[in-house]
Amino acid sequence: MQFSQYDRETNMADSGSGKHPETPARDGATAPRQAGIDIAKLKLLAECFPIGKELRYSPDPQLAVFFDTIIVAYRVNDHYIYSRNAIKSDGSGNPAAVLIEADETELPVGKIHRLDLLVPDTSDMEGTLDYDRRALLGRAQQFLKGNLITLMANAVAKAVATLTTHVAEAVTLAEGPYTNSKMILLSPDLDDFSVADHLHNSRGKTSVPIDLHFKKGEPPYPCVLSDFSEAAVGLRADQRTMPPLEKEDAVTLVINLGEAAKTYTIKGRVVRRSEDSCVIHLEELFKGHEFAKFTLMDSLALKTGLLNYGN
């Protein structure tokens, strides 16, 4: 990502002072200013988006483009915090203070007036997108100041947390464990925080045998598609345990709904796995001669086929 001389000078000044000027976002909005930190919201943030958390983010307001990232630090006021253990809790489990490692002092939560999330600069991932998805991002780069970035992470076994943030600034750290690494500071909108079931919306039940391909050169694994939503399906093992899948593993599903219906070949990623079941996020559908983004129309067509399977 290229920066102007003005951007570099502003970033250097801001990283030393802790000041974050409001900047127009891509859609004309401005990044939210934080006026004190609500303890309950800070607790939710620390639980769902802790330091060291691997997650996905979307720079696209339509949530059609996703990349992987990780939260490497918080910036509390003008101090960088690299360990989740730096957040100290009271007897009730609520955040009470933040340990400032530089001088080994504790900053009470009531004195926090600014909190940002530090993530790697993953601008180069834009080059992995197909033409249509790059077009969704437009000419502007994803980490321009003020741009909207939506974070998504598993919160509990059956839920996903979604958090709206805005790009505060791009920084290159001069010290600490990430010295000379290009990073992005995201300012979270703690009023726009949600936790919901992966398959809660428009969830349907079915029982359709499918083939799960999870390792190149290995035979497909027979499963049963048991429930589904717009962008995810739940699978259960067919008389055996699920194969040794890990979160974010790439898999391919082959769903044959009968001779009169279409066979769906869909690429996806593992959201969660238990001994006898797993949830797969659907990403690409084989169309014609190549894989393409799994669209809303694809979801509706698949739903119709699943709901009418066996009829």
Q: Look up residue 97 and give its amino acid.
A: A
Judged by DSSP in three states, 109 sits in helix
10 Å Cβ neighbour count for 4? Answer: 8
Model confidence over 19-65: pLDDT tens digits?
334 434 444 444 444 556 788 888 888 888 999 988 888 887 767 67
Nearest 10 degrees: Cα torsion 278, 283, 286, 290 = -140
Predicted structure pTM score: 0.56
**Dist. CA 101–CA 52, nearest whole Å:** 17
Model confidence over 226-240: pLDDT tens digits?
888 777 888 988 767
**Dist. CA 276–CA 223, nearest whole Å:** 10
**Dist. CA 14–CA 123, nearest whole Å:** 21
10 Å Cβ neighbour count for 218? Answer: 9
Closest CA to 132 of 294, 303, 301: 294
The predicted pLDDT at position 301 comes to: 84
**Dist. CA 235–CA 188, nearest whole Å:** 34
Distances (CA, A) of 232 to 222, 229, 246: 18, 5, 16
Beta strands in the chain (DSSP E): 54-58, 67-70, 73-76, 79-81, 87-89, 95-100, 105-108, 115-120, 148-156, 159-172, 182-197, 204-213, 221-228, 232-237, 250-256, 263-273, 277-287, 290-293
Side-chain-side CA neighbours of 115 within 13 Å: the count stands at: 27
**Dist. CA 253–CA 267, nearest whole Å:** 6
Residue 136 corresponds to which tokens in the numbers above?
């969704």
**pLDDT tens per residue across all 311 residues of the chain:** 333 333 333 333 344 433 334 434 444 444 444 556 788 888 888 888 999 988 888 887 767 677 889 999 999 998 999 998 999 988 888 888 999 887 788 999 889 999 999 999 988 877 776 666 666 666 657 898 999 999 988 765 456 788 899 999 999 988 889 999 999 999 999 887 776 654 444 456 778 889 999 888 888 899 999 888 777 888 988 767 888 888 888 999 999 887 655 788 999 999 888 888 888 999 999 988 889 888 878 888 888 888 877 66
Task: Sketch out the chain's domains with CATH numbers.
Answer: 5-197 (no CATH), 204-307 (2.40.10.220)
The predicted pLDDT at position 160 comes to: 74
Distances (CA, A) of 203 to 99, 145, 232, 248, 274: 43, 37, 9, 22, 20
The predicted pLDDT at position 226 comes to: 85
Residue 95 corresponds to which tokens in the numbers above?
């955040």
